[in-house]
């Protein structure tokens, strides 16, 4: 009887811990925490501008480590919040800029500027909580690519 009671208490404690941990997944956090989950350094930076009306896609790409670090340093000033499944809008029908950071293993972080959305490995969705992103800095960065 005591063993069952101890097992029940252990299960309740474990469940409470898991519940609290999953609740904190949706708190605001620094952007760097999102990047820390990717262990390898980023090797590629792709910036695209798309338009759904004419299906034209403009692309800038670089593998310059200094430029990649500049973008990461810029993004480290922002905070993000993980989106709950019901908050995710999968429609992609507006003009937008996308920044795609990729490492050697193919792990990627996609940042959709007009939507203030971040997609990690096509499955984890985040939003900038202190956005929108500074468009003036990005325009200057694009011009220098």
Each residue's pLDDT, cut to its tens digit, for the chain (145 residues) gives 778 877 777 787 877 666 665 555 566 777 777 777 788 889 999 888 766 665 667 788 889 999 989 988 888 888 888 887 777 766 655 557 788 889 888 888 888 876 677 777 667 788 888 877 887 787 788 777 6
End-to-end CA separation in angstroms for the chain:
70
- The CATH number assigned to the domain with range 28-143 reads 3.30.1490
Tell me how far apart the alpha carbons of residues 42 and 104 are, in angstroms, rounded to a whole number.
Answer: 7
Q: What is the mean pLDDT of the chain?
A: 77
Tell me how far apart the alpha carbons of residues 112 and 121 are, in angstroms, rounded to a whole number.
Answer: 14
- Sequence-separated (6 or more) residues with CB below 8 Å from residue 50: 56, 57, 58, 95, 96, 98
Contact (CB, 8 A) for 43 and 64: no
């Amino acid at each position: 009887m005591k063993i069952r009671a101890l097992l029940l208490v252990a299960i309740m404690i474990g469940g409470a811990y898991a519940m609290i941990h999953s609740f904190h997944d949706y708190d605001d956090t620094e952007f760097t925490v999102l990047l820390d989950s990717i262990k390898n350094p980023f090797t590629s930076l792709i910036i695209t501008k798309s338009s759904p009306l004419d299906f034209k896609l403009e692309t800038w790409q670089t593998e310059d480590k200094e430029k990649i670090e500049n973008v990461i340093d810029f993004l480290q000033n922002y905070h993000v919040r993980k989106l709950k499944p019901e908050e995710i809008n999968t429609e992609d029908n507006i003009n937008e800029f996308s920044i795609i950071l990729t490492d050697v293993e193919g792990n990627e972080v996609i940042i959709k500027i007009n939507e203030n959305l971040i997609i990690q490995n096509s499955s984890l969705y985040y939003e900038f909580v202190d956005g929108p992103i500074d468009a003036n800095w990005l325009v200057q960065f694009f011009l220098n690519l």
